Structure 1
Amino acid sequence: MKIKWRKINRVLHRDLGYFFTGMIIVYALSGIALNHLEDWNPNYVVNLETKQLTISEDFNKADKKEIISLVNKIGVSAEYKNHYFPEEGKLKVFLQKGSSIVVDLQSGEATIETIRKRPVFYQVNFLHYNPGKAYKWFADIFAIALIILAVSGLFILKGKNGIKRRGTILAGFGIIITIVFLIIYLN
């Protein structure tokens, strides 16, 4: 019995492609996000807002209740977590979910920083960073599957559009471009 390598190759390529569709989308989206770290924070949307407050002269910096009252005056919905004084005349209040408020106690200017998870990108980046041991192994299997997909894809088509002509040219250019980037960035 003759083994039909071309058919096995097509079936393997097709089934791995179907099975790992979700992972391909996860790594493609998180790859785009991580490629542009200097342009934006792919995990969080950070908003800064400034408000002017009137702070009474008898404001007691050490009184947690007064600080919570000050936070409530600002109108932030996140709950108080902790506070400290990073320098003389400045109060930093930490709120739930990573938000914070910095208050200049002399001028009354409050800078509110609110943070929320960026939809979709937070989740795909979370997976990209390998959150656990089981996922690490699944991601490793996915990486091996990508190699198999790349190699098996070279042999899907026959003739002038296959690896004997067009495929070799396109794969060659792709490899050359990758090597050129390696040379540029490693020097």
Structure 2
Amino acid sequence: MKFSLKEFRKWCRFIHRDLSYFFAGLILIYAISGIVMNHRDTINPHFNLSTYRYTLPEAIPSQDKITKDFVLKLLEKHNEEGNYTKHYFPEAGMMKVFLKGGSNYHLNINTGDVLYESVKRRPIIGAMTKLHYNPGQWWTLFADAFAIALIVITATGMFLVRGNKGLWGRGGIEFVLGLLIPLAFLLFF
């Protein structure tokens, strides 16, 4: 049986199409989480950090009269009463409340000024970026299969178009440029 260039292109098209569809979700996950990870200095991929400052309108009891129930009442405004761990007074007139999950609440007893720092997990982006850190042996095997599939997708894609728009024309020039740009960054920056 003779294997022709036409037959080769046909198989390239099938392999390219099926692997592309199979790995499209993972490609999107890696692309989106990769963008977030590239900007870790401006966005925390794992947690959403928020700071709230305000002054309590109600009277605050003296430090020796502040009870856990009073603290829980203050935390209701932020729906954090169920996350209460403990409170203490690091200095006279200042109360700090520790909350599960990393959030905390500071109260100046003398002025009523509050600093509430909320730490919330980013459920989708945080989980997506976790894949970049190789979460386990099974993921390593799947990620290796994905890497091999990307090589196959790229190689088969290079043979799909013929003529002056294919690998031996404009496509080849674009391929070389796409290869030279990362090489230039590696060598010169």
TM-score bracket for this pair, using the shorter chain length: 0.7 to 0.9
- 1:86 and 1:57 map into 2 onto residues whose CA distance is 12
Structure 2 portions without partners, runs of 5+: none
- 2:74 and 2:146 map into 1 onto residues whose CA distance is 51
1:182 paired residue number: 186
1:32 paired residue number: 35
Distance 1:86 1:147, change over 3 A: farther
Deviates more, 1:157-166 or 1:6-15: 6-15
1:155 paired residue number: 159
Contact 2:37–2:45 (CA under 8 A) maintained in structure 1: yes
2:103 paired residue number: 99
Q: Which has the higher helix share?
A: 2
1:8 paired residue number: 11
Q: Which runs of 4+ in 1 moved over 6 A?
A: none
Matched, 1:143 2:122: no
Distance 1:51 1:21, change over 3 A: same
Contact 1:68–1:80 (CA under 8 A) maintained in structure 2: no
- 1:139 and 1:153 map into 2 onto residues whose CA distance is 20
Contact 2:85–2:100 (CA under 8 A) maintained in structure 1: no
- 1:182 and 1:84 map into 2 onto residues whose CA distance is 51
Matched, 1:173 2:180: no
Secondary structure in structure 2 of the residue aligned to 1:51 = strand
1:56 to 51, 61, 68: 61
- 2:136 and 2:107 map into 1 onto residues whose CA distance is 39
1:76 to 70, 73, 78: 78
Contact 1:100–1:113 (CA under 8 A) maintained in structure 2: yes
Alignment of 1:105-144 (within 5 A): 105-118=109-122, 120-144=124-148
- 1:171 and 1:12 map into 2 onto residues whose CA distance is 20
Task: Please tell me the residue identity of whatever aligns with 1:42.
Answer: P
Q: How far 1:36 sits from its partner (Å)?
A: 1.0
Distance 1:47 1:166, change over 3 A: same
Deviates more, 1:42-51 or 1:138-147: 42-51
Contact 2:97–2:104 (CA under 8 A) maintained in structure 1: yes
- 1:36 and 1:120 map into 2 onto residues whose CA distance is 17
User: How many residue pairs were aligned?
Assistant: 181
Deviates more, 1:175-184 or 1:66-75: 66-75
Deviates more, 1:163-172 or 1:126-135: 126-135
- 1:86 and 1:163 map into 2 onto residues whose CA distance is 70
CA RMSD of the aligned region, Å? 2.4
Deviates more, 1:89-98 or 1:151-160: 89-98
Identity, in percent, stands at: 34
Secondary structure in structure 2 of the residue aligned to 1:59 = helix
Contact 1:80–1:93 (CA under 8 A) maintained in structure 2: no
Deviates more, 1:117-126 or 1:140-149: 117-126
What are the superposed Cα offsets for residues 117-172 of structure 1, whole Å, 9 maximum, x if unpaired?
A: 33632232233333333223212211221122122211111111111111210011
- 1:60 and 1:148 map into 2 onto residues whose CA distance is 70
